[in-house]
Chains A and B, each alone.
Chain A
Amino acid sequence: MSSLRLRGGRVIDPTNGSSADVRDVGVRDGRIVALAPQEPVDEEVDASGCVVMAGGIDMHTHIGGGKVNLSRLLLPEMQRNGANPYALPDNLLELASCNGCTPGTLATGYRYVEMGYTAAFEPAMMPSNARHTHMEMGDIPVLDHGAYVMLGNDELFLQMLAEKQDFERIRDYMAWTIRASKAMGVKVVNPAGISAFKFNQRKLDVDENHVHWQVTPRQVVHTLARALRELGVPHPLHIHGSNLGVAGNIQSTLDTIDALEGLPAHLTHVQFHAYGTEGAKKFSSAALQLAEAVNANPNISIDVGQIMFGQTVTASGDSMRQHAQSGLASPRKWVGADIECDAGCGVVPFRYREQSYVNALQWAIGLEIFLLVKDPWRVALTTDHPNGGPFTSYPHLIRLLMDKSFRNEQLAQIHPDVAANSALGSITRELSLHEIAIMTRAGPARLLGLTDRGHLGVGAAADIAVYRENADREAMFSTPEHVYKDGTLVARAGRVMAVPTGGTHFVEPEYDRGIETYLRKHMASHGSVNFDSAAISHDELCSCCNGGRLLPAACFETTP
């Protein structure tokens, strides 16, 4: 391996408290090191006039697995560049891969890396689809990756809860599932709602009973969050709440926070869960209420799920809500599924339009949330790719957050009622580079428990993005000058320079093996896969992921 010095850049490293010092960053053998000023290095790069940050980490982006691939297979018309096919890459390091709103895995890696991102996490991996999900992520070049396994709609969990089985058994089952699927965390999607839809229930509020199991989303959320806490899984429960997209769903979101009773949790794509019922159209922003709740509850972190105007596809595990919204599909088709008594999925193509009142308001709500939540450490910058918009729109989003006059110009162009009445126009906050660095790398790393990523302290992995200073923040964040992955130059001024295989982050909580007898029996009597084939071993994970490194994250010590 080799050594490297990035000389004289403005280093923004919130984890280590730096406030934009101009200094050198040293790298040796893929790690950040302290280099003496005159110490010889293999390569020295002039970073003056540049901002140096850790590589970006996207903690919620649908980049691989069943529903993502369904989107690709079913929407070939979106895998075109207007009337023409996507041109072949002019870079010999790249293989052909479409850049549509659900890009091929290869293009996903190339485009993320060109933007300075070095890790991305798939938030909705079904246990039954775990191998597929890991395989797709293994075919995303360069990026490290990981996934949150979906629980809380699997019939077994709901049955155990309904039968009032010992909490410890439910916790053991969760731990087994996390280990078997090689997950980085647990996500619950529309708690109990996906299952309820299989029993023909069309709506499920936080305190409403699942029609068959007679348990409530409140119980589901609390049980999952508590178990993860006790298992010491660093990333707390990742929650896609009840009633996504429904006017007035702010109540469900507040009820969900209440259900946690102070347990840590991450509320995802909260923009889709922050709607009121005020005004003539009975659809209004509840961003302020949401932000107040987040500000008041330090156990809660969020990512926003900002929408971006244009064509995209919404790919979600929430079959109940996707079915309900399938009439809005554009083009008019959608695909749904009930899957393996684990969960479900719904793929609904969608076009967000500036002149739609609802879409314009969604856009404003997302930005309001970013700007009204005070603690950037608890806010991750996402579009819930591709659901709110493709990840390639992040530089535009960053500009909207950092540049008030630009934001107001955009606001003036959308639906006039929103432009005139939205609170957004009166918000003067402009996020700093320091805050953007928190929301795009330092914060996500901390929320995931990645101690050696998302920062530039000595010993950290040398995942680094070097951006040329530019008052146009969109241009600045679109094409960093240099991007390093574990010390290797992987992109230079928007061009991929190397395509190493990324690693897989996962956690392995401990549990009482006694649960396996119960699971074996259950899978034989209700399932479709032999228990002996259900779990992914380390060797198999490695082969699924193209031989990438295994990056187990440590669980924290728990006090019984």
Chain B
Amino acid sequence: MTETSVIPRAGATRWTCPFCLLLCDTSTVQVDASGALTLSGTGCACASRALARFSAEPSTASPQVDGKDCTLDEAVAAAAKLLAASRQPLLGGLGTDVSGARALYRLACKTGAISDAAEGTALMATLRASQDRGAFFTTLAEVRTRADVIVCVGGTPVEQAPNFFERCGVGEALVAKRHVAVIGGSAADDAVLAGLATRPGVTVESIPLQGDLFATVATLSALVSGRAVREAPAALKALATRLQQARYAVFVGETRKLPAQGALIVESMNRTVGTLNMSTRAAAMWLGGGNGAGTVNQVFGWMSGLPLRSRAGPLGLEHEPMCFDAKRLLSDQAVDSLLWVSSFDPDVAPPETALPTIVLGHPDLASARASVFIPVSTPGIGSSGHLFRADGSVVLPLYAVYEDTLPTLASVVDRILEKV
């Protein structure tokens, strides 16, 4: 990579991409005569794939009750009736932006619903590790400006965040020498590393697992804290030394990729960061909460005081990071209705369940099995909005590419709320 310059915007369109963890905001979206949306500027597989699911035509998607087209009023009334009859609703998916989340919290309070995101387990992995032992995290601009060692734990995040290494400035002159290591990566990750190695000042290394990821990070953690580890692999020893000598080391992990009990890996890496921070500087960057989940977690957090997997139940405000797992609640039949929200990605469909289900989401979710379906606008495509970036501190505005004529999630939820 050469020195970055400002990428010019075609026309007046400003765009923030809501489809990956990084909310890239230097590309624009072009609309061709057929209404197809194409990306111009920095290419991105994630954005292109997502854009293919939209067309800049006024939407013809109709609300449905029991699979039959109906008016919005009828669908809202049916949804409200269903929620009113429910003793323990579940708000799932939670693919929306800040204003949608604000409305969903009001609905959760009114109905006593439990709320959990589509990737709630991944979201809880980092949250629970921090709740237990704390954490030290960093953000993209910091990594770009100062990280001389970047360690990707369990693979690179390029599938969910294609331009991750560009956003981290890998190969830019800001940090003359950077080392990128991947622990337990795949062949695809090795190919990514090979690409990075051609950039100026960048060295790379792929470190195989020692046993599983748990054992590997435990060994690294022990080595970094100076404990004697018998038969420690040379690559991990060298990495530990490199970390101790780094000016600013960053561990990067994707929460979605973590195995079961992945919070233990997060905790181990967070502890390693803590150890390093006694003598040099280090930080972690756990990437997750895509598709709006991280945003809804923040909003529920500030309105209620508690993260997701909470409810305003009969006893009061309860947070149960294990018990309030949507999957578990559904399989235990501990809930009796499901309201599923997925405004960004039509592939994030509601789980198979026999429970009465309301789906509020992308028009293509009409095919999902649901008692009530209401198509809603996608923030960043058909309407404006706000999302949190995955590193947790930056909120960016989303701009409408075209008017999709669909109602926003917030307006639909508020209408349901009036009738529950």
- B283 surroundings in chain A (CB, below 8 A): 337-338
Considering the complex, give the chain B residue whose CB is closest to the CB of A343.
B393
**Does A532 reach chain B (CB closer than 8 Å)?**
yes
A225 shortest CB reach to chain B, Å: 27
| CA A66 to CA B106, docked complex, whole Å | 22
- A41 surroundings in chain B (CB, below 8 A): none
**Does B30 reach chain A (CB closer than 8 Å)?**
no
Chain A 336-367 interface mask (CB, 8 Å, partner B; 1/0): 11111110000000000000000000000000
Contact A335 B306 (CB under 8 A): no
Contact B102 A139 (CB under 8 A): yes
Contact B303 A520 (CB under 8 A): no
**Does A412 reach chain B (CB closer than 8 Å)?**
no
- A95 surroundings in chain B (CB, below 8 A): 105-106, 109, 303, 312
Contact of A334 among B26, B132, B134, B313 (CB under 8 A): B134
Q: Select the residue from A79, A105, A199, A531 with max chain B CB neighbours within 10 A.
A: A79
**Does B373 reach chain A (CB closer than 8 Å)?**
no
- B26 surroundings in chain A (CB, below 8 A): 530
- A420 surroundings in chain B (CB, below 8 A): none
Considering the complex, give the chain A residue whose CB is closest to the CB of B106.
A95
**Does A84 reach chain B (CB closer than 8 Å)?**
yes
Contact A96 B316 (CB under 8 A): yes
Contact B318 A85 (CB under 8 A): yes
Contact of A128 among B174, B306, B393, B397 (CB under 8 A): B393
- B93 surroundings in chain A (CB, below 8 A): none
Contact B305 A103 (CB under 8 A): yes
Contact of A527 among B16, B141, B317 (CB under 8 A): B141
**Does A76 reach chain B (CB closer than 8 Å)?**
yes
Contact A333 B106 (CB under 8 A): no
| CA A148 to CA B297, docked complex, whole Å | 25
Interface of A is mostly: mixed
**Does B135 reach chain A (CB closer than 8 Å)?**
yes
- A99 surroundings in chain B (CB, below 8 A): 305
Contact of A528 among B6, B14, B141 (CB under 8 A): B141
Contact A79 B317 (CB under 8 A): yes
Considering the complex, give the chain A residue whose CB is closest to the CB of B308.
A73
Contact A86 B140 (CB under 8 A): no
**Does B327 reach chain A (CB closer than 8 Å)?**
no
Contacts A76-B319, A128-B393, A333-B133; is A526 near B141 (CB within 8 Å)? yes
Contact A97 B315 (CB under 8 A): no
**Does A75 reach chain B (CB closer than 8 Å)?**
yes
**Does A168 reach chain B (CB closer than 8 Å)?**
no
Considering the complex, give the chain A residue whose CB is closest to the CB of B127.
A73
**Does B386 reach chain A (CB closer than 8 Å)?**
yes
Chain B 1-32 interface mask (CB, 8 Å, partner A; 1/0): 00111110100001010000000011000000
B235 shortest CB reach to chain A, Å: 26
Contact A104 B134 (CB under 8 A): no
Chain B 384-396 interface mask (CB, 8 Å, partner A; 1/0): 1010100011111
- B16 surroundings in chain A (CB, below 8 A): 533
**Does A74 reach chain B (CB closer than 8 Å)?**
yes
Contacts A66-B393, A84-B316, A334-B134; is A107 near B305 (CB within 8 Å)? yes
Interface residues of A in 55-105 (CB under 8 A from B): 64, 66, 68-69, 72-76, 79, 81, 84-88, 95-100, 102-105
Chain B 146-164 interface mask (CB, 8 Å, partner A; 1/0): 1000000000000000000
Considering the complex, give the chain A residue whose CB is closest to the CB of B9.
A532
- B109 surroundings in chain A (CB, below 8 A): 95-96
- B313 surroundings in chain A (CB, below 8 A): 85
| CA A528 to CA B142, docked complex, whole Å | 9
A517 shortest CB reach to chain B, Å: 10
Contact B14 A533 (CB under 8 A): yes
| CA A333 to CA B136, docked complex, whole Å | 11
- The A-B contact count (CB < 8 A) is 201
B35 shortest CB reach to chain A, Å: 25
| CA A100 to CA B301, docked complex, whole Å | 13
**Does B88 reach chain A (CB closer than 8 Å)?**
no
Q: Count the B residues whose beta carbon is within 8 Å of the partner chain — how many?
A: 67
**Does A426 reach chain B (CB closer than 8 Å)?**
no
| CA A524 to CA B14, docked complex, whole Å | 15
Contact A104 B305 (CB under 8 A): yes
- A337 surroundings in chain B (CB, below 8 A): 136-139, 283, 392-393
Contact A524 B4 (CB under 8 A): yes
Contact of A524 among B6, B167, B248, B392 (CB under 8 A): B6
Contact A528 B167 (CB under 8 A): yes
| CA A341 to CA B130, docked complex, whole Å | 23
- B127 surroundings in chain A (CB, below 8 A): 73-74
Task: Report the interface size class on chain A.
Answer: 35 or more
Contact A528 B144 (CB under 8 A): yes
**Does A132 reach chain B (CB closer than 8 Å)?**
yes
- A106 surroundings in chain B (CB, below 8 A): 303-304
- A86 surroundings in chain B (CB, below 8 A): 305, 316-317
- B135 surroundings in chain A (CB, below 8 A): 335-336
Contact A200 B281 (CB under 8 A): yes
- B225 surroundings in chain A (CB, below 8 A): none
- A139 surroundings in chain B (CB, below 8 A): 102, 302-303
Contact A104 B304 (CB under 8 A): yes
Chain B 105-133 interface mask (CB, 8 Å, partner A; 1/0): 11001000000000000000001001111
**Does A155 reach chain B (CB closer than 8 Å)?**
yes
Contacts A95-B303, A102-B305; is A88 near B312 (CB within 8 Å)? yes
Contact B301 A72 (CB under 8 A): yes
**Does B275 reach chain A (CB closer than 8 Å)?**
no
Interface residues of A in 168-201 (CB under 8 A from B): 197-200
**Does A129 reach chain B (CB closer than 8 Å)?**
yes
**Does B203 reach chain A (CB closer than 8 Å)?**
no
| CA A98 to CA B6, docked complex, whole Å | 44
Contact A340 B141 (CB under 8 A): yes
Considering the complex, give the chain A residue whose CB is closest to the CB of B248.
A198
- A129 surroundings in chain B (CB, below 8 A): 393-395
**Does B55 reach chain A (CB closer than 8 Å)?**
no
Considering the complex, give the chain A residue whose CB is closest to the CB of B22.
A528
- A97 surroundings in chain B (CB, below 8 A): 303-305, 317
Interface residues of A in 318-339 (CB under 8 A from B): 323, 326, 329, 333-339
B2 shortest CB reach to chain A, Å: 11
**Does B280 reach chain A (CB closer than 8 Å)?**
yes
- B384 surroundings in chain A (CB, below 8 A): 543
Considering the complex, give the chain B residue whose CB is closest to the CB of A346.
B136
**Does B247 reach chain A (CB closer than 8 Å)?**
yes
- A85 surroundings in chain B (CB, below 8 A): 313, 315-318
B118 shortest CB reach to chain A, Å: 19
A545 shortest CB reach to chain B, Å: 12
| CA A335 to CA B129, docked complex, whole Å | 11
- A88 surroundings in chain B (CB, below 8 A): 312, 316-317
**Does A4 reach chain B (CB closer than 8 Å)?**
no
A83 shortest CB reach to chain B, Å: 11
**Does A374 reach chain B (CB closer than 8 Å)?**
no
Contacts A85-B317, A340-B141; is A76 near B131 (CB within 8 Å)? yes
A534 shortest CB reach to chain B, Å: 10
**Does B277 reach chain A (CB closer than 8 Å)?**
yes
Contact B132 A333 (CB under 8 A): yes
Contact A531 B6 (CB under 8 A): yes
A317 shortest CB reach to chain B, Å: 12
Contact B302 A64 (CB under 8 A): yes
Contact B298 A132 (CB under 8 A): yes
Chain A 214-225 interface mask (CB, 8 Å, partner B; 1/0): 000000000000
**Does A287 reach chain B (CB closer than 8 Å)?**
no
**Does B210 reach chain A (CB closer than 8 Å)?**
no
- B281 surroundings in chain A (CB, below 8 A): 197-200
Contacts A72-B302, A79-B319, A97-B317; is A135 near B386 (CB within 8 Å)? yes
**Does A136 reach chain B (CB closer than 8 Å)?**
yes
Known pairs A105-B303, A530-B26 / 10 extra A-B pairs, C-beta < 8 Å:
A72-B302, A72-B307, A73-B131, A73-B297, A73-B298, A97-B304, A104-B305, A335-B130, A526-B174, A533-B396
5 contacting pairs across A/B (C-beta < 8 A): A69-B302, A129-B395, A334-B134, A335-B137, A340-B139
The 3 closest A-B pairs by CB, nearest first: A98-B305, A104-B305, A85-B316
